[in-house]
Amino acid sequence: MSVNSRNSPPVEGLAIASSSSFAVFLDVAVKEVDGEGEGEFLGRIEIVLFADSTPLAAENFRVLCTGENKVLKPSGKPFHYKGTEFFAIEPGYHVSGGNFRELDDDFSDCSIYGGKRFPNEHLRNKPKLGSVMATGIVGPPNLELGEPYTILNGADFAICTTEEARRLDIWHEFYVVFGEVTSGMEVVKKMEPYGSSITARTSKSVYVVDCGQFDSD
């Protein structure tokens, strides 16, 4: 399969690329914090996105993988997962990425939808080992639905590395599952020694050295 960088809808709109699913990839490397060069290549994680059931979250992740929406703010920094770190790794629970704070503080809360966070679509997709989830922040109450809070999503995501029912239930209560790892869970396992089961802080820079989308054929 070859990598395809698709044309993107305007960032202000909510138009979604027309497909029931997309396949994307994250190439992961590790190096010393502030180290030079690309470091040690750990491998490729391949992910299928559920564009049919979670179109907003799936499209947000897809566009951030391709980098086709170049920038969203005047700083001119790329709005692209390439070069971003996995900022939290808790062995046996999750690896979390998509945090742009190291590149630009203004990007930390952004999505492709006008640079603003967007609400959860639904929680029908149950998390499991290898699920990819939007890990949003708790927002104000949803008065229309009578809910005490809303979850607002941006660029942050997590890959689930647990099969423990209690922990999966916690994920399911808050986070939208918008994709699944189809290849490369062994790469995710290689990332775990650089995390912490206590703080989830990383001891080295585990980051996305490249990413993109596969052609549908």
Q: Where are the domains of the chain?
A: 22-213
Measured between alpha carbons, how far is residue 42 from residues 33, 189, 217 in Å?
A: 16, 10, 26
d(CA 187, CA 110): 27
Measured between alpha carbons, how far is residue 63 from residues 11, 26, 37, 104 in Å?
A: 10, 13, 26, 18
Element (DSSP H or E) covering residue 61: helix 55-66
d(CA 152, CA 169): 19
> What integer pLDDT is reported at residue 11 of this predicted model?
32
pLDDT bin (cut points 50, 70, 90) of residue 123 is confident
d(CA 109, CA 167): 25
* Sheet with 137-139, side-by-side order of all strands: 118-119, 150-153, 137-139
pLDDT tens by residue, 160-199: 999 999 899 988 888 999 999 999 999 999 999 999 999 9
- Would you mind telling me the total number of residues written for the chain in this entry? 217
d(CA 173, CA 79): 29
Give the other-Cβ count within 10 Å of 70's Cβ: 11
Strands 157-160 and 94-97: antiparallel
Query: Is 0.85 surpassed by the pTM of this model?
Result: no
> What integer pLDDT is reported at residue 161 of this predicted model?
96
Q: Are 214 and 62 in contact (CB under 8 A)?
A: no
For residues 203-214, give the mean pLDDT: 96
Give me the sign of the Cα torsion angle 75, 78, 83, 86.
Answer: positive
The top-level CATH class assigned to 22-213 is mainly beta
In 91-168, DSSP assigns E strands to 94-97, 118-119, 131-134, 137-139, 150-153, 157-160
Asked whether the predicted pLDDT for residue 68 surpasses 50, the reply is yes
